[in-house]
Amino acid sequence: MYTRRLLSLSVLVGLTIAGLAVNNTACADLSQRIDATHILAREYELPQRAHGPGGISFADSEHDIRTVRRASAPKKLGQKETFWANNVATGKFEQITATLRAIGKNCYVFLEDSQTVTQTAITRVQKQFDEQIYQINTTNFGSENKPGLDGDPKITLLMLDIQDGYSNPNDGYVAGYFFAGDQMFQSEFESHSKVKSNEREILYLDTYPCDPSAEDYLEIVAHEFQHMIHHHQDRNEVTWVNEGCSQIAPVFCGFRPPGHYKLLKDDPDRSLNNWAKWNPMPDYGQVYLWNQFIVDHCLPDAASRASFFRALTSSKKKSIGGYIEALKGINHSFSDIFTAFTVANRINDKRLANGRYSYKQSVLQKFKLPPTKHVKTFPAKVSDSVYVWGSDSIFADIANVASRMKISFSGYRRFLGPTRPYFRLAAIMQDSTGIQPAKITFFKLDVNPSDSNRLIGSIEVNCDGTYDGLTIVIMALAPEEVDDTTYMPASGFIYDLNFEIIEAIAGAVRNTHSLDMNAFIETVNNSADEYTIANIRMREHYANLLIRTVKRDIEKGSLSTVDNFIESAGNNSKLAPFARDISGMLLFFKNQQNSVFSDEDLQNRIEMLNTVK
């Protein structure tokens, strides 16, 4: 019963707070780790703070809060204390006892008495928090409430088995949380309230199934501490901004980037500024990518990074408004950064426009979202919808086209609250061999004279053999001056995209591009074990290119691509489906009476392909 509840909550709130480390199995299945901070924020409505003279909140007035702050008593190693901890499974607060196992400059580390954790692991948490996490997070995001509700400047790190119903590796589990209710006195709650406050600055860190000695454990601490800081700086900030800061915090602290960006491949068309209620896991990836892109392209050093994010967390403007304000400080517009960020997610080519549409972060060098749809024959029409502050991408295979092509767009832009979103389209010509650098062109869109609710526009491209792929990126944006919290969430905006051949190009060279076999095999190796929609789309994309290239070579009297595949494949079982496709094609040509190849040549290759299993 509990497991069902937790998994339901994981769908509502999101995935792990720390990095999704593909090769790290220290903490059970990392893809099931949940940050309970926002679970608790929704489950428990906190009362408004009491106010002092002039309507000044105790929470906002350092002078007034001292009048009610508890006196801080010195703590000693080995002392025991009683804490309230939330049982996420039952939705109840329960008391536990814990022992103080480490005292640092900025923290106390308590361990639940029922748990067994080595002193080495506990000391590591204390030292890393003191020497790395505390300084870096406060430098970049601002200060927590200090000295805080209990009058003690040290933060409590409570290591405990968070009750989340975990029983097997397929279960969801909570890795940690920050609870805003601990920032209030118990006397501020009604007597019938089920909320219990520890009346101090405290973070909760799981010990089972999480492993405190694992490398990724400290990422949890960095992530949750940002939530504590953000609550003090701007307690009313929306989820996507708060989580975005917590997702980039471990990277600032020198830990590996969170791996949630991989989950975005399965569902790329998501509004950046809308935290999904029923499947928010990819949102963690998108908000990390967003902040990483800003760091890569707008914040060249530690000083500019700290200045930007402190401005963001302290801004009293919500959602996009906070980013608009912070970006103005470095002479960038939200819409322009969003456009470059969106194209980078679809193309990520450092040779395109001097790297403007790519990532500099090392683990993201080869990251790409798969195309939303493929177009293989022309003329063609694509009808779909895109969310505001989201995007689609359509890939057109133009290797067999030797003509001038027109791409026409029509998008419906209905009113959305007080604003009317608009579209932005980019066309990127690509060469699958990588010889020719990609080339980008933006559509010029105008209001349809016969329908003011529609934006229309078109471009023409020469398919002369220089490029064999064309990607159209469709984005929906909204005027920045309108508060986005007044119109989110919103349903998608429909559009039509038409591809048509205008005229043949004299002297155009068709079918001149060869598949980059190394890139093909690397993609297959990296995705073959993950049966996700994104990986299926990407493998389909490369399978189409592979078969297209083999067919072209055979028609020209060459088996070079087949031989290259056989040599590269070896005994790689992940390539077996592609080997069968090629084998079937060779068998077809073998049965043709007019084949230019001998039966022996084809049969030898068919047999070699059949050994790839």
pLDDT band at 481 (very low <50, low <70, confident <90, very high): very high
Sheet holding 155-160, edge to edge: 33-35, 173-177, 202-206, 155-160, 107-112, 92-103, 80-87
Question: Residue 61 pLDDT more than 70?
Answer: no
Give CA–CA dist 489/238, Å, rounded.
Answer: 13
Give CA–CA dist 73/213, Å, rounded.
Answer: 30
Mean pLDDT over 70-83 rounds to 88
Beta bridge partners of 119: none
Give me the pLDDT at residue 188, please: 94
C-alpha triplet 461, 462, 468: angle, nearest 5°: 95
Indicate yes or no: pTM above 0.85: no
Whether 406 contacts 460, CB under 8 Å:
yes
- Compute CA 462 distance to the chain's CA centroid, rounded to the nearest angstrom: 35
Question: Directed axis angle between helix 281-298 and helix 239-252, to 10°?
Answer: 60
Least confident of 155-169, 505-519, 578-592: 505-519
Q: What are phi and psi of 136, to 5 degrees?
A: -70, -45
Give CA–CA dist 105/126, Å, rounded.
Answer: 9
155-160/202-206 β-pairing: parallel
Mean pLDDT over 102-122 rounds to 98
Mean pLDDT over 158-172 rounds to 86
Whether 454 contacts 413, CB under 8 Å:
yes
pLDDT band at 433 (very low <50, low <70, confident <90, very high): confident
* Residue 72 CA neighbour count, 13 Å, CB half: 16
422-430/439-442 β-pairing: antiparallel
DSSP reduced 3-state for 566 = helix
- What type of residue is 15? L
Arch. (CATH architecture) of 373-504:
Sandwich (2.60)
Cα-based torsion angle of the residue sequence 297, 302, 308, 313 in order, rounded to the nearest 10 degrees: 130
Whether 263 contacts 15, CB under 8 Å:
yes
Question: Residue 311 pLDDT more than 70?
Answer: yes
Mean pLDDT over 192-207 rounds to 96
Mean pLDDT over 119-133 rounds to 98
Token digits for 488?
Answer: 């989110």
Domain boundaries, the chain: 2-257, 373-504, 517-610
**Does 611 or 515 have the greater pLDDT score?**
611
Question: Residue 51 pLDDT more than 50?
Answer: no
Whether 159 contacts 205, CB under 8 Å:
yes
Give me the pLDDT at residue 547, please: 80
Give me the pLDDT at residue 528, please: 57
